[in-house]
Amino acid sequence: MCRWYDPGRRAGPVNLTLSEGIRHMGVNFVALMGHNLDEEELYALPMLLNSTWSQAQQFLPVLEGLPAPGSAPDEWRWHNTGNISLADELKRVGRITMDSPDCFIGHVGMRSLDIYHLARWWSFLTDEAVRRKLQGACRHIAVTLGSARIAYIPDSSYKPELARELINEGKTIDEIVEWLRANCGPPAADIGLILRQGEEGWNGSGYYVEVLREPPSRGSFA
């Protein structure tokens, strides 16, 4: 299994206090997106991602040297739920979990999902190379699954993380973005502005919504 990556050494010129910088190292990167799969297609979602994942290789690895050999599965797959079926797991908690070969983890609900990566939120905000790769891979997933929008948020008890609960409730990405607007304010106009909108250089309620230029068509195995 991949291990979490702490990119504190990449703080660069951003003006944060030492205590703030250390605290932000533990904040995880999360991308929220929708899907337009019916229930039968949803259970075959890892197969769909595996069939197109070669197109995302230009953005991988996101972090050099990860995953370490033998630490991640060879392809997208459902996380082992023991003796509980995927359908029962989805009904019980509102989402099911995917593992990936490239340090991504997905939690999939009936109408939306989140994507985690071992790269931290801090490196997404401050490291342009990591940001480009994360956005490229997430765009590929969104297009494959039929989502026209992606919301990038921090977790670790910051307010935008509460939007993840809407996945369990069967909400769409449009409903999730509206919740973010109502509870966290409007999205940042630029990812870099999240670092400059709050006190001491950090806005814990900051998030960014990317609208894909061409709304993608329904995911297909063809």
pLDDT digits (tens, 9 = 90+) for 181-199: 999 999 999 998 888 655 4
**What pLDDT score was predicted for residue 201?**
57
Range name among 115-119, 154-158, 171-175 with the lowest pLDDT average? 154-158
Give tens-digit pLDDT for 27-48: 889 999 999 999 999 999 999 9
Q: What is the mean pLDDT of residues 123-138?
A: 95
**What pLDDT score was predicted for residue 110?**
96
Q: Which residue has the tokens 């401050």?
A: 126
Q: What is the mean pLDDT of residues 146-169?
A: 93
Global pTM value: 0.85
Range name among 79-83, 144-148, 150-154, 213-217 with the lowest pLDDT average? 213-217
Q: Would you say 31 and 145 are in contact if contact means Cβ atoms under 8 Å apart?
A: no
Q: What is the mean pLDDT of residues 5-30?
A: 51
For the chain, percent of residues with pLDDT exceeding 70: 81
Give which of 145, 155, 128 is closest to 24, Cα–Cα.
155
Report residue 88's pLDDT band, with 50, 70 and 90 as the boundaries: very high
Report residue 114's pLDDT band, with 50, 70 and 90 as the boundaries: very high
End-to-end CA distance of the chain: 31
Q: What is the mean pLDDT of residues 189-214?
A: 78
Report residue 17's pLDDT band, with 50, 70 and 90 as the boundaries: very low
Report the SS3 class of residue 113. Answer: strand
Q: Would you say 58 and 153 are in contact if contact means Cβ atoms under 8 Å apart?
A: no
**What pLDDT score was predicted for residue 170?**
96
Q: Which residue has the tokens 């940001």?
A: 131
If you ran DSSP here, which 8-state letter would residue 146 be given? T
pLDDT of residue 7 exceeding 80, the answer is: no
pLDDT of residue 3 exceeding 80, the answer is: no
DSSP string, 176-193: HHHHHHHHH-SPPSSGGG
**What pLDDT score was predicted for residue 140?**
97
Across the chain, mean pLDDT equals 84
φ, ψ for residue 33 (rounded to 5)?
Answer: -155, 170
Alpha-carbon distances, residue 25 vs 10, 64, 150 (angstroms): 10, 18, 23
Q: Would you say 161 and 151 are in contact if contact means Cβ atoms under 8 Å apart?
A: no
**Size (the chain), residues:** 222
Report the SS3 class of residue 120. Answer: strand
Q: What is the mean pLDDT of residues 118-125?
A: 91
DSSP string, 5-73: ---GGG-TT----HHHHHHHTTPEEEEEEE----HHHHHTHHHHHHHHGGGGGGG--SSTT-SPTTSS-
